[in-house]
Homo-oligomer: A and B are copies of this chain.
Amino acid sequence: MSTFKQAFKAAPYKVNGHGPLTVGALQTALASMDPDTPADHYGSGAIIEEFQQQMAAFVGKEAAVFFPSGTMAQQIVLRMWCDEQHCPTVAYHPLSHLEMYEEKGLHTLHPINVLTLGDSDRLFTLEDVKNLHERVACILVELPQRDLGGELPSLAELRALSSYCKEHNIKLHLDGARLFEVLPYYDVSAPKICELFDSVYLSFYKGLGGVAGAVLAGDAEFMKPAKVWKRRYGGDLISLYPYIVSASDSFTLRLPRMKQYYEQAQQLASNYNACPLLSTRPVVPVCNMFHVHIDLPKETVETILIAVMQETGIALTGHVNAVSDTTSFFEVTSGDLYPTVPQDKLAHAFASLTQHLQGGVLHGNESHQ
């Protein structure tokens, strides 16, 4: 384990997330259940069917199918739209999860062409969609765009995109891995957002903090092949209840806290933006997450964060990413831990960070001489 990871582990206060992932979370979710509660059985049974219905109702769609993962659910929904539209092409942002984190699964497992929309340093716009040079079956929109620090289009922009796609017979799919997290910003119900989309994917382990699992929702007729594809992928497990029980528990527990997480993120971003050499993306967060970009190399930032941890006991992050030889960033996700950090200690940490960053200019420059 690196010195940085060790220091992170040893720090008494972590600012981000809900705390370490442990088996205790599942023990707690199962604790109140009657041991004789029947397991789901290959997609049937009250435990899966009722949760699917609950999630379909939550997003205002007719039908929902529970999947082990969003990777599986989203490759499948794009294939379903291609089949339904008799068109082998889809479009999404170049930083989509499908391009970044899935080892090119969509490209390897399906005869689907992908067009990218916009650039990797900004959200795509309706103009980018209008400029598509060929027909697409479906456009995937990720709300928020995680790899842009969780940026969001406005509701007006989404409505214009939805209208355009309806007019041009392009299906619109919502990558709502963090949909729960953006509801406080949009300040409308989930169905009001999801009615702009033909299909929706939800995840239960990001802001909600469940063990794993995903739901895909849409019209009942459209959703029928989802279970066939789920079986083809090996996702139609004899029982998915461990994830469903945890998803349901986390949904009940943390959905009401999304506004609090969002406000915490805004406070945190404001603290970061008062430091030298730093800026957050977005400057004002629109959900529970944002990115901190630093004009210093990853190693320098880690050294500074270790010093902050040792002086104040506060761990601001456990993972720094290099952007270039001279710049880096880290992701901040506010959750249940933030209120456990004493405000005076947090203020001390940001004062320490400021001080070290002022010194870090020299250090950062030195390391490149």
B21, B37, B240: which contacts A239 (Cβ < 8 A)? B21
Residues of B within 8 A of A24 (CB): 35-37
Bound-complex Cα distance A350 to B211 (A): 47
Interface string of A282-301 (1 = CB under 8 A from B): 00000000000000000000
Q: Is A351 an interface residue (CB 8 A)?
A: no
Q: Which of A23, A25, A70, A104 has the most C-beta atoms of chain B within 10 angstroms of its own C-beta?
A: A23
* Pair A103/B228 contact, Cβ less than 8 Å: yes
Take A39-B23, A241-B23 as given contacts and tell me if A233 and B231 are in contact as well, using a CB distance cutoff of 8 Å: no
* Pair A234/B235 contact, Cβ less than 8 Å: yes
* Pair B239/A212 contact, Cβ less than 8 Å: yes
Copies of this chain, complex-wide, total 2
Take A21-B239, A22-B39 as given contacts and tell me if A71 and B234 are in contact as well, using a CB distance cutoff of 8 Å: yes
* Pair B22/A37 contact, Cβ less than 8 Å: yes
Q: Is A33 an interface residue (CB 8 A)?
A: yes
Interface string of A7-31 (1 = CB under 8 A from B): 0000000000000111111111011
Q: Is A205 an interface residue (CB 8 A)?
A: yes
Residues of B within 8 A of A212 (CB): 237-240
Q: How far is the CB of A105 from chain B (nearest CB, A)?
A: 3
Q: Is A153 an interface residue (CB 8 A)?
A: no
Report the interface size for chain A: residues with CB under 8 A from the other chain. 55
* Pair B30/A26 contact, Cβ less than 8 Å: yes
Q: How far is the CB of A248 from chain B (nearest CB, A)?
A: 12
Residue of B nearest to A240 (CB): B212
Residues of B within 8 A of A2 (CB): none
* Residues of chain A from 209 to 267 with CB closer than 8 A to chain B in the complex: 211-212, 228-229, 231-243, 245
B73, B241, B242, B243: which contacts A234 (Cβ < 8 A)? B73
B103, B108, B232: which contacts A104 (Cβ < 8 A)? B232
* Pair A234/B72 contact, Cβ less than 8 Å: yes
Bound-complex Cα distance A208 to B73 (A): 29
* Pair A105/B233 contact, Cβ less than 8 Å: yes
* Pair B35/A21 contact, Cβ less than 8 Å: no
Interface string of A63-85 (1 = CB under 8 A from B): 00001111111010000000000
Q: A21-B38, A68-B68, A109-B232 are in contact. List 13 more A-B contacts (CB 8 A).
A: A22-B36, A27-B30, A28-B35, A69-B237, A70-B234, A71-B236, A72-B234, A104-B232, A105-B231, A109-B110, A211-B239, A211-B242, A234-B235
Residue of B nearest to A231 (CB): B103
Q: Is A356 an interface residue (CB 8 A)?
A: no
Q: Is A50 an interface residue (CB 8 A)?
A: no
Bound-complex Cα distance A108 to B238 (A): 22
* Pair A23/B33 contact, Cβ less than 8 Å: yes
Q: Is A363 an interface residue (CB 8 A)?
A: no
